[in-house]
Amino acid sequence: MHAADILGPDGPFSRVIDGFAARAVQQEMAEAVEQAIADDARLVVEAGTGTGKTFAYLVPALLSRRKVIVSTGTRSLQDQLFHRDIPRVLKALNIPARVALLKGRSNYLCPYRLETSLDDGSFASREIVSDLQKVARWATSTVDGDIAELASIPEGAGVWPFVTSTADNCLGTDCPMIEQCPVARARKRAQEADLVVVNHHLLFADAALKDNGVGEILPSANAIIIDEAHQVGEVASQFFGKQLSSRQLAELARDAVVEGGRGAADQRGLFDAASAVEKGVLDMRLALGEGTRRAAWAEVAMRTDLHDAIEDLASALASLEEELGVAAERSPGLAKVHERAQDLLIAFGALTGNAPVDQVHWFETFQRAFLVRMTPLTVAEPFRALVYGKPAAWIFTSATLAVGDDFRHMTEELGLEDARTLKLASPFDFSRQAALYVPENMPDPTSADYTRAVVEAAIPALEASRGRAFLLFTSHRALQEAARLLEGRLPYPLYVQGTAGRNELLEAFRKHGNAILLGTGSFWEGIDVRGEALSLVIIDKLPFASPGDPLLAARMDALKRQGRNAFTEYQIPQAVITLKQGAGRLIRDVTDTGVLMLCDPRLLSKGYGKLFLDSLPSMRRTRKLEVVQNFFAALDALAGTADT
């Protein structure tokens, strides 16, 4: 049987999986994926919400009997694929297959670093000490060593860098505890598996040879399926560029002290040099200015205080590298730290010097940290080399890849001009299930009182929907202003991004059933709230990237130098895809209903607004609040009839 037949009304899925219904678009995608795998072809598929794209690529992947890698956007999607979706497909297909889940190193316990941390005992807080003891107890019973098992310790807790490894600090095959290493075991399972589930960061770390401590997975694959493929360009640009963080430098200094204490306690100069590096990192952070910022390196490169801080930190790094060179023969741990010091000294010189003309040189500051990067203006050439480097099928899929019916924005960005493309509309009946509301009399989005106007327009819509809403913003500033303006105005629970973790906020939102959640950034995508709990999505502005973003500015300048229209060819397509992601939060199931409220008047006043509107599903459109109120009133009446 072919994949399309298996997913048909008479196939095994209809008998094995509760609630399964054959969908023509799902069968069409499965057929295209099956053919691409057979042909070692490149295929780009936009599969609208409700297509069932996961089954549409898993069925032909598992039937192919070839080595397949499936890459997802996040670790939570990895877990969903591995623990929920793949077992259901294997049950329906009734075939044997070896399947493995592989995450990045920092998701697994490092027994060696746990042991050295327990020996060291010097930590910044009692909380880290307490968490370290929890990790030590868990380490005696865990099988896989996946730190997600320790749900009692938050994802961003300070203990994790002390008990997990990175490509920088992993000892690899020189590690005295390699036989107990969860990373090595997970890699071995992945190399032996028929299908491996990874995430984009791990896939590109492997591809760019940035994670070469224990082995590679990509060269052995016959097919690579990339889900949430709209994220690929951004992730690839990170790994095909260079970067250096204050955390890497601070951890180098700390590990030099820990390993020095174990193998070179008599070498006083080593500890003095490590202290100088720690001080140099703090001084450089201060020299980069207060607050959080993302800007071109040229904006700060000529400042005297930064120049002095860079010279002092470079000198401290050189001294630490020299001291570690003297101590390197005393232990594998010291040898590895010395190797890191050499690499980081070279990287520091390169990233604080002059960038090549084809690279964007920029930096980010956080409250206590910084990151310096060189990012390629375009990833088309290295990405094309990766994809065409060996015979293999590459399938890219997402609900948001095309601008209108055009895939060129994505295929040109990734050097995939000859890829097959397929656009599949959602099987949901948006004309019946949803309405699009663009409120009247909104001010220009650049005006000072715009966010206030958004809130005032939103309140009657929120009253009509009885809460049950996401408000998605294009900036943190607008998010915070809206939160202040909404406080106490409505009788519904109000949740604001940043007041708790994303999963915690979503769980509370679902639980209440009538809540309002304000979010930006990560809340625009990858969130699945089905049913009545989410019946209204309000978006404040068209999501154009900030004109001050250094990457955007550099890439637009490059297009202008080529005589191209950067706004039309780059900014608009990026914003269209982001808007489609945000709008996609509303209708997640065949029974969902709701209103999408787009507040930006440019949708109707600017010529490019039509492109945004045409890229959205075909919903009934209105500018009248009364239509929105009647929409929800009709739903309430219908629900009341059903209850009786």
Query: Where along the chain do the CATH 1.20.1440 domains lie?
Result: 242-376
> Could you read off the pLDDT of 361-387 as tens digits, one per residue?
999 999 999 999 999 999 999 999 999
Q: In what order do the strands lie in the sheet with 68-72?
A: 99-101, 195-199, 68-72, 223-226, 393-398, 42-47, 420-424
- Per-residue confidence (pLDDT) for residue 644, from 0 to 100: 43
> Could you read off the pLDDT of 117-162 as tens digits, one per residue?
888 777 778 899 999 999 999 999 999 999 988 888 887 788 998 9
Q: Residue 551 and residue 359: Cα distance in Å, rounded?
A: 10
Q: What is the mean pLDDT of residues 445-456?
A: 96
Residue 211 has pLDDT above 80, yes or no: no
- Per-residue confidence (pLDDT) for residue 640, from 0 to 100: 61
Residue 335 has pLDDT above 50, yes or no: yes
Q: Which CATH class is domain 242-376?
A: mainly alpha
Query: What is the distance, to the nearest Å, from the Cα of residue 62 to the centroid of all Cα atoms in its chain?
Result: 26
Residue 213 has pLDDT above 60, yes or no: no
DSSP codes of every residue in 545-597: PPTT-HHHHHHHHHHHHTT--HIIIIIHHHHHHHHHHHHTTS--STT--EEEE
Residue with the bigger pLDDT between 99 and 1: it is 99
> Could you read off the pLDDT of 235-261 as tens digits, one per residue?
999 889 999 999 999 999 999 999 999
Q: What is the mean pLDDT of residues 161-169?
A: 88
- Per-residue confidence (pLDDT) for residue 119, from 0 to 100: 85
> Could you read off the pLDDT of 475-528 as tens digits, one per residue?
999 999 999 999 999 999 999 998 887 888 999 999 999 999 999 988 998 888
Closest CA to 235 of 398, 389, 71: 71
> Could you read off the pLDDT of 577-618 as tens digits, one per residue?
999 999 999 999 889 999 999 999 999 999 999 999 999 999
Residue 166 has pLDDT above 90, yes or no: no
* Burial class, 222, CB count within 10 angstroms (exposed 0-12 / middle 13-18 / buried 19+): middle
Query: Where along the chain do the CATH 3.40.50.300 domains lie?
Result: 3-97+194-239+379-424, 430-643
Considering the chain, what percentage of its residues have pLDDT values greater than 70? 98
- Per-residue confidence (pLDDT) for residue 639, from 0 to 100: 65
Residue 215 has pLDDT above 70, yes or no: no
Residue 352 has pLDDT above 60, yes or no: yes
- Per-residue confidence (pLDDT) for residue 344, from 0 to 100: 96
> Could you read off the pLDDT of 35-89 as tens digits, one per residue?
999 999 999 999 999 999 999 999 999 999 999 999 998 888 898 899 999 999 9
* C-alpha torsion sign, points 177, 182, 185, 186: negative
Q: According to CATH, what is the number of the domain 3-97+194-239+379-424? A: 3.40.50.300
Residue 641 has pLDDT above 60, yes or no: no
CA angle (342, 348, 354) in 5-degree steps: 135
Superfamily of domain 430-643: P-loop containing nucleotide triphosphate hydrolases (3.40.50.300)
- Per-residue confidence (pLDDT) for residue 168, from 0 to 100: 82
Residue 214 has pLDDT above 60, yes or no: no
